[in-house]
Amino acid sequence: MFLTSTDLQAIWLTVRLAAIVTVILVLVGTPIAWWLARTGSRLKGAISAVVALPLVLPPSVLGFYLLLAMGPNGPVGQFTTALGIGTLPFTFWGLVLASVIYSLPFMVQPLQNAFESIGPQPLEVAATLGASPLDAFFTVAVPLARPGFLTASILTFAHTVGEFGVVLMIGGNIPGVTRVAAVQIYDHVEAMEYSNAHGMAAVLLIFSFLVLLVLYVWKPNSRNIVRRG
């Protein structure tokens, strides 16, 4: 086996992180995407820009500000300290919070596109058939946007797996707590353990390729998700 036990530990940590971040982002990103898809508010442009910031910002910049915010003098840090959790930097949950912010556009943008492509009519139809806005959202908008949810979740998961800069700034390099796969590769290279680095790099390469292959080859559409009976 070309992977060491610390490699496997890093992979497991990465998968756990990506899964938790994806779940949180489905819950947080869906209302944001829904609002952006439906609003006529003047704030739409500003909110869209904020959501897209992680796409263009250097991870070190994002990581730096997050570190300040989560530190003992930052607003998040003071809040978490008041709650009795302590500060978040260099903890797993600090990493989760940073990743949620870093991967936000990968969840929100595909979902927003999916909601926009549904258009207003199905929801108007649902309303005239007696469905409340929330009812129509769950029984019409969400099922029709299912391909968008799949794309967004896959992209978010994959992007979180590939994180490096923000993780290094917020989480550091604590085995089993914050040392994710990308950081582990960096460590191997620093220590001149090229064969180990190869093993981990190959795992990430194959994973990333498979994710993109799934996205491009298998285009989910609403026709094959018709519910019978």
Partner 1 sequence: MKLSLNVRKNFGTFSLATDFTVDGNRVGIFGPSGSGKSTLVSMVAGLVTPDDGEIVLDGEILFSSRSGINQRPDRRRIAMVFQNHGLFEHLNVNNNLRYGLKRCAVEHRRIDLEKLVEVLHIGHLLDRGVNNLSGGEKQRVAIGRAVLSNPRLLLMDEPLSALDDALRFQIIGYLNAVSSEFGIPYLFISHSLLEMRLMADEVVSVEQGRITSRGTADEVARSRLGSSPVGYINLLKLGRPIQAAGLYHYPWGKSGLLLSVDSGREETLVELSSKDIMLFKRHPEAISARNLLACTVRSLFGSGRKVGVELECGGETLIAEIVCDAAIELSIEPGTVVYAAIKASAFRMLPS
- Do residues 207 and 14 lie in contact, with contact meaning Cβ atoms separated by under 8 Å? no
Q: Is residue 138 involved in binding partner 1 (CB under 8 A)?
A: no
Burial class (CB in 10 A: 0-12, 13-18, 19+), 133: exposed
Binding mask 141-170 for partner 1 (x = CB under 8 A): --xx-x------------------------
Directed axis angle between helix 181-190 and helix 5-38, to 10°?
A: 140
Radius of gyration of the chain (CA): 20
Q: Which of 84, 128, 190, 218 binds partner 1 (CB under 8 A)?
A: 128
Residue 114 is a binding residue for partner 1 (CB under 8 A): no
Q: How far is the CB of 142 from partner 1 (least distance, A)?
A: 9
Q: Please pick, from the candidates 18, 126, 161, 180, the single residue that binds partner 1 as defined by CB under 8 A.
A: 126
In degrees and rounded to multiples of 5, residue 57 shows phi and psi of -75, 140
Only one residue has tokens 């909110």, namely 47
- Choose, by CB under 8 A, the member of 140, 182, 183, 197 that binds partner 1: 140
Query: Nearest approach, Cβ of 195 to partner 1 (angstroms)?
Result: 50
- Taking the least distance from each CB to partner 1, the nearer of 44 and 146 is 146
Query: What DSSP string describes 22-61?
Result: HHHHHHHHHHHHHHHHH---TTHHHHHHHHHHHHHS-HHH
Q: What are phi and psi of 216, to 5 degrees?
A: -85, -35
Pick from 27, 50, 129, 213 the residue near partner 1 by CB under 8 A. Answer: 129
> Under the rule (CB under 8 A), what is the footprint of partner 1?
121-122, 124-133, 135-136, 139-140, 143-144, 146, 222-223, 225-229
